[in-house]
Structure 1
Amino acid sequence: MVVLTVRDGRDDLGTTVTSFMSVSLDPPMVVASVATSSYLSEVLNRRPRWAATILSSPQRALAGRFAAEGRPGARILLAAEPHHRGPHSDALILETGISAVECETRQTMEAGDHTLFVAEVLTTDYITSERTPLVRVNRRYLPV
C-alpha cells in the first residue's frame, strides 16, 4: 500500500492508494490510481509533482487514517510520524516506509471511476530492505 501526498498551496493532501505500480524502467515511471470524483484527483490534475511512500506492515493504522472519509489534512495525519518535505515535489514524505519516491505526472487517463496518473520518478528518497511491505488483497491485509 502507498500513501500518496501532494502540496496544494498552503494545504497538504494525502490518501491511501492500493493500485500503484512500476510501468517503465527507462525512464523510471509509475502509475497511481485515484478515484476521479475525489478532491485529490482534482488537485493532482493541477499539481503535477507529488510523492508516494510505500508503507511497511506495521503502518496498517496509518493506511487506515489516510483512507478514512472526512480525514484531516496530511500534515495533521503525519504530525506524530517522522516525515519531511520532498525537495522536488514539496510533498510530505513519511520516513518509516519501505521506500519513497517523488514523481511528476506525464499522462492521465480515465479508467472507469478512477483516473490513472502516469508519472516519471524524479528521485527515490530512500529504500530499505529491513521492513516488510503492507499488502492488501480482497479487502484484507495480508499477514506479516
Structure 2
Amino acid sequence: MPVDPATFAEALRQYAAGVCLLTVRDDIDDVGTTVTSVMSVSAQPPLVAVGLTAGGYPAEVLEEVGRCALTVLAAEHAIVASRFSSAGRPSARHLLESVPWQRAGDSEAIVLDSGLAALDCRLERLVGAGDHVLALLEVTGVPVLARGGAPLVRLRGRYVDETGSLAGRA
C-alpha cells in the first residue's frame, strides 16, 4: 500500500533540521534559497549533499555555474530564511540589504558575516531523487566560522531556536 503524501509530509515535519542559505553567483545576478536538507557526506575529501527541488531555478543555476556557497543560519536569521523560501523572490542582494555579507573566495557567492559557518563549494554532481535533486558539493573553503551561537532550526513548519522557541526576527 502506498504511503499517503500528506502523512509522509507530516511525519517529516517532526524532524528538526538546521537551516542554511544556499547562494549562487552567475553572470546576471545572485540567486539564493533556504535549504534544510543538508548533510555531511565525507571528511576526506570534504563533501556535503544538499536537496533542491528538481527543475527549480536554484538547481538550474547551480548546475550551469558549478559553484555555490552555504551559510549555516543563526537563530537571528529567521526573517532571512523566510525571505529566501518565498516564491518569486528578487535578487539575493536585495533580500540582504540590512544584513552584512561578503563573497566567498572561490565561488564568489554571498555568505552572511553573522552566520554560524559558511562553506564555499564546487558542484561535484547532481543526482536525481524523485521530485528533488541531490547536489553533491565539494567544500573548497570555510570563509565564516563563528564557533558558537544559537542555530536556526526548522521544526513542524516553523523556524525555532535550539530550545524550540520561535526564532528571533532580526
Give the alignment's TM-score, normalised by structure 1.
Answer: 0.95
| Contiguous gaps of at least 5 residues in structure 1 | none
CA displacement 1:58-103 (0-9 Å, x = unmatched) = 1111100000111111010112110011110011111111100100
Aligned CA RMSD, in angstroms, stands at 1.1
Paired residue for 2:43?
Answer: 25
Distance 1:67 1:140 in 2: 12
Paired residue for 1:119?
Answer: 137
Match of 1:72 among 78, 90, 100: 90
The answer to whether the 8 A contact 2:20-2:70 is kept is yes
| Contiguous gaps of at least 5 residues in structure 2 | 1-18, 166-170
Shift of residue 39, structure 1, vs aligned partner: 1.0
Q: Aligned to 1:107, what secondary structure does the other structure show? A: strand
CA displacement 1:12-37 (0-9 Å, x = unmatched) = 00000010111000011101111012
Shift of residue 126, structure 1, vs aligned partner: 1.8
Paired residue for 1:96?
Answer: 114
Match of 1:132 among 150, 153, 156: 150
Distance 1:75 1:111 in 2: 30
Correspondence 1:2 to 2:25: no
**Residue range with higher mean Cα deviation, 128-137 or 99-108:** 128-137
Correspondence 1:16 to 2:42: no
Query: Counting strand residues as a fraction of each chain, which structure ranks higher?
Result: 1
Shift of residue 40, structure 1, vs aligned partner: 1.1
Paired residue for 1:81?
Answer: 99
Shift of residue 112, structure 1, vs aligned partner: 1.1
The answer to whether the 8 A contact 2:105-2:143 is kept is no
Give the alignment's TM-score, normalised by structure 2.
Answer: 0.81
The total of aligned residue pairs comes to: 144
Paired residue for 2:12?
Answer: none
Distance 2:33 2:52 in 1: 9
Distance 1:109 1:67 in 2: 22
Larger Rg: 2
